[in-house]
Structure formats: C-alpha cells, structure tokens
Amino acid sequence: MKRKPLVAGNWKMYQTIAEARQLVPELVRGLQEIMGVQKVICPPFTALLAVKALLEGTDIGLGAQDLFWELEGAYTGEISPKMVAELCQYVIIGHSERRTYFGETDESVNRKVKAALEAGLIPIVCVGETLEENEKGLTEIVLQRQVKVGLQGIDLKLDEQERVPLLIAYEPVWAIGTGKAASGEFANNVVREVIRPELASLFGDQVAQATRVLYGGSVKAKNAGEFFGQTEIDGALVGGASLKADEFVGIVAAAAEG
C-alpha cells in the first residue's frame, strides 16, 4: 500500500512569536517547492495564531504539541481539544518528554487521543522505549503496551479515501535530542515486526497497513534518506532540525525522494 509521506516539525519550547514570524517565511519559501509530501509545523501554543496567519494559502499544515482531554472546565493552564481545533489540523500526543517530565501515562494518552479524534483533529501518537528498556530487550513489550493501551476503545477505520485519521510516531527515547539516531534498518524492523502487527490486532490488517508511521529521533537532512528509503517508515517527526529552515527543507526534500 502506498502511503503519502508526512514530515512534522516539533518546535518544542522554542520560538517566541517574533522569532516564529522570522522563521516561517523561510520555511514556506523552501517547502512550497516540494511536492508529494505533507508538511506540518507544530509551534508552541503562544505562536499558533501567528503561524496560522503566515501559513494561509500554503499546503503546510499546523499542529499543536499537546492538549487536554476535557472540552472545557476548571483546568487552569490547560488547552482543550476544541481550542486546538480552532487553529490546527494536527496534534502531537504522548511525546516522551511529556511522559518523562509531566507524568503522562498510556492511559492519559488514550484519553487525549479519543478527545482529539472527537474534535476532528489528527493525532500524531508517540511511542518509544528508553535506553534501559532497549538494552534489556524490552522494546517489543513496551511498544505493544503503548500502542494497545494508548489506542484502546477507539474505533479506527479507513475513510472514503482509504486513509486513517491518526499517525504513529516511533521515537526511541534514547535517540531524542542525543544526536544518536536509530539505524534505518532497526527502525523499519520495529515498525514492521511490532507496531503494525499490534495495530492489526486492534483494528485489522487493512487499517494497520494504511496507518502512517513516522520516525523521530535526531533526524537531520544528512541522515533522513536512510529512514525514508525504508518500506515501513512514512515520514518523520523532527525536533531540533525543524528550527533551521535549510535543515527542515532538506529533510522534507529527502522524504519526497523516498
């Protein structure tokens, strides 16, 4: 099954509104020339409105980095799905930094995924094992649990265009922000042998094969081709490199080449 590649840039806690207004036009100039790849930018909440205005008339999507699962209420500091949906098409859920620093669990990820889908957002659901888990040979067990619990109770089906309204991002925690990327072969094997079979057990083989799975973890323009040349990897969730226009454009160009 041919799945259209997608590359999303996760700006994390970088870029003020003023800085975003400088970076986005640089990104747009380079990205608009690249066809055959869906492109998404995920700035901090404070910059979403400014970035949305700068992306008007382009084919570049906008995503948030998180949301809360309630539509509204007395939840000081939180952002609801309907607030995100006013501005964005996508939302990152369950990033390892949210799990590590803010106590997110597979269960809270599940609640957020359900809320995002109900609001019409496309979740980018992050899964990945730590270095300790990897070295102990627990990668398969950890990922199976994260996918199963994170997506339980969800009725995931193909739409009329045979697309799935959800993406998985495989981000081995030991490769995020460390400069130590997993090999393309390793990541591809994990997707083929662990993530897609778990998706198939939950939703059937057709949905599993149609679901796009991204790789994330120290992706740069110089190593992106190693991942995009793999049969099971359908794009990337990019961190630090998405803050540099030439790097991010180079990664998207590599995705277009496949």
95 is catalytic: yes
Catalytic pick from 129, 133, 171, 226?
Answer: 171
Cα 173–Cα 95–Cα 227 angle in degrees, nearest 5: 60
With beta carbons less than 8 A apart as the criterion, state whether 195 and 147 touch: yes
Query: Using CA atoms, how far apart are residues 167 and 213, in angstroms rounded to an integer?
Result: 6
- The CB-side HSE value for 187 (13 A sphere, CA atoms) comes to 34
CA torsion through residues 197, 144, 104, 72, sign? positive
Do you know the residue count of the chain? 258
171 is catalytic: yes
DSSP code of 180? -
Of 138, 141, 129, whose CA–CA distance to 99 is shortest?
Answer: 129
Q: How far is CA 32 from CA 10, 17, 37, 61, 234, in A?
A: 19, 22, 10, 12, 20
* Chain Cα centroid distance, residue 212: 10
Catalytic pick from 95, 97, 129, 198?
Answer: 95
Active site positions, annotated:
95, 171
